[in-house]
Amino acid sequence: MYAKAPADHRSPGAFVVPGAAAAVATLVGMAEPRITLLTKPGCHLCDDARSALHEVLAEPEFSAAELAVDEKNILDDAALTAEYAEEIPVVLLDGRVHTIWRVEPERLRTALRASFA
């Protein structure tokens, strides 16, 4: 079901999904996208977004890259509170808004694949 990554790959135990885009086939060792989840306490949509993010990142296609999510509480930063108070959760990819309120797994996968291109 999964193919071994090329021999010259930085992580010899990495696996990729056959038929995936060429950029995705070399996820490990490439510049990783910065993923930030903006949240605040008591936010049930934040819990849903966190779960959706971690489910996508745990998929074989992305797990080899060991992508991390930097979670920030907007209440700890006045500028973030002012900008996103009514829009959380917010997922930022490389500092840009990817989505607000709900994480759509397929849209996230597409954006992650593009970030490795």
Asked if 51 contacts 105 with a C-beta cutoff of 8 angstroms, the reply is no
> Is residue 41 one of the residues assigned to a domain?
yes
Domains in the chain, number: 1
Q: What is the pLDDT tens value at each position of the chain, 117 positions in all? A: 334 434 433 333 333 333 333 334 344 445 688 999 999 999 999 999 999 999 999 999 998 888 899 999 999 999 999 999 999 999 999 999 999 999 999 999 999 999 877
> Is residue 6 one of the residues assigned to a domain?
no
> Is residue 20 one of the residues assigned to a domain?
no
Tens digit of each residue's pLDDT (9 = 90 or more) over 4-37: 434 433 333 333 333 333 334 344 445 688 999 9
| Domain span at 91 | 31-115
- Residue 94 CB partners (closer than 8 Å, separation 6+): 33, 34, 115
> Is residue 9 one of the residues assigned to a domain?
no
Q: Please indicate, yes or no, whether the overall pTM of this predicted structure exceeds 0.75.
A: no
> Is residue 19 one of the residues assigned to a domain?
no
> Is residue 22 one of the residues assigned to a domain?
no
Identify the residue whose tokens are 């797994």. Answer: 105
